[in-house]
Amino acid sequence: MSINEEQAAEALRDAPPIILEAGPRTTDRIPPPPSDVWELPHGTAWVYYGEGNGGLTRPVLMADGFSVGPSDLDLTWELLEYGPYPLLSEIRRQGRDVVLIGYEERSASILHNAETVMAAVTKAIERREGDHALTVGGFSMGGLVSRYALAKMETEGLEHQAQLYFSYDSPHNGAWIPIALQAFAHYIKKLNADFSNQINSDASRELLWRHIAHWEDEPGTSERRLEFLRALEEVGDWPQEPRRVAIANGPADGTGNGVEPGVAAVIGKGASITGTELRTQPEGVDDLVARLRVITVPTREVRTSGLPDIDGAPGGTLYGFGILADALNSMPPLLGFKVENPIREHCFVPAVSAIAAREPATHDDLYTPLSDEELEKTPFHAVKLSSRNDTHALITEELAGWLLEQLP
């Protein structure tokens, strides 16, 4: 039995969405029921009292990161608790309370979701027993959401009573999704728009260091990102009252993750996708980053100039190529979407971005070891970089243990 182009196109339209995000779940364990649940503007918070606490006493507020759709706080719990290091249990064991903050729509503007964090901070102050200072921060995009929320509260004269602000592998100077992946997402938009819609969402355009809205576009800084940076500037860029700390899932010594520039990461093998080849980002001029062919006969080319070899840079990694390949290979073989996937991951949050030390603009910006002097000049009072390149926002004993030492 064979299928025609129309049948293959219909199958791609009906396929599950391709979404770049953490997960999927790797355990059947479910989180314990929260001590309290707060309904907030544009979101929800799950509250877990610390050991020995009968109410909210020493709150640690943690904002969710980027994806599509409402926050999955079950998955958030799994990532923070059931990975290499049980961060939530350790926080609670010390008599501190965990407040997990989720959003109605994770791809909405950072400025929009900051309203949820601001409301959670206000509610924590109202519900708290005693006067112990708050800790407020987040993982990935959550570090930017909480950064803006606290700074805006200060600008508006609102008390946040946060003694510590933390960000955990948050892209302060921009995140990176390979142009090849962005181009593929937009190329298949007429058949399955979910991937393209994620890349073009408000939050994505605010986060990404370089973005394309259509597969034929030149990579650049999205106007939405420029608006976000202006909004940060209007509130002083950073919260001034709390101590500020940052964590990076990449090393300071310039060691990359081993991904070579300009090599094939996803290669089409099935009849419906033969001719497609997505490459890691090269550093040169007019370099090929993608060949695109999905169902139709023509093969299109995507070329870039002046971008650094960022896929292999030190920093937190994302299985972006792997997520796409797995989604295509999960379709029935008869449909012809089989691909090979020699490279599964790429740098997502460069280490220099996670601690706001440099723009990730050139090879030297990304790979030159960070000096002690540079580390002292970041906007943070203290930073902690991983001894190796880890999965983006991975909770390790090395990093999470350091964070615990910073809590008031």
What pLDDT is attached to residue 201? 98
Cα(197)–Cα(294) distance, integer angstroms: 18
Q: Residue 160 and residue 136: Cα distance in Å, rounded?
A: 9
Cα 136–247–53 angle (5° rounding)?
A: 40
- Please tell me the predicted confidence (pLDDT) of residue 298: 85
Q: What string of pLDDT tens digits covers the 408 residues of the chain?
A: 356 667 777 888 888 888 888 766 666 788 999 999 999 999 999 999 999 999 999 999 999 999 999 999 999 999 999 999 999 999 999 999 999 999 999 999 999 999 999 999 999 999 999 999 999 999 999 999 999 999 999 999 999 999 999 999 999 999 999 999 999 999 999 888 999 999 999 999 999 999 999 999 999 999 999 999 999 999 999 999 999 999 999 999 999 999 999 999 999 999 999 999 999 999 989 999 999 999 877 899 999 999 999 999 999 999 999 999 999 999 998 889 999 999 999 999 999 999 999 999 999 999 999 999 999 999 999 999 999 999 999 999 999 999 999 999
Q: How far is CA 395 from CA 177, 249, 320, in A?
A: 22, 9, 19
Q: Determine the pLDDT at residue 1.
A: 39
Which DSSP symbol is given to 371?
Answer: P
- How much is the pLDDT for 22? 76
Region at 377 (left for phi over 0; alpha for psi -120 to 50; beta for the rest) = alpha
Overall residue count recorded for the chain in this entry: 408
What local confidence, expressed as pLDDT, does residue 295 receive?
86
Place of tokens 């064991």: 93
Rounded CA-CA distance 107/21 in Å is 11
Cα distance between residue 384 and residue 42, in whole Å: 32
In 3D space, the residue among 248, 208, 243, 238 whose CA is nearest the CA of residue 224 turns out to be 208
Q: Mind giving me the DSSP string for 255-284?
A: ---SPPTT-EEEEE-STTTTT-EEEPPP-S
Closest CA to 36 of 121, 89, 98, 94: 98
Classified as helix, coil or strand, 385 is: strand
Q: Find out whether 183 and 290 touch, Cβ atoms under 8 Å.
A: yes
Residue with tokens 């599964």: 344
CA distances from 64 to 99, 120, 208, 376 (A): 11, 12, 17, 28
Buried b (16+ CB within 10 A) or exposed e, 28-50: eeebeebbeebebebbbbbbbbb
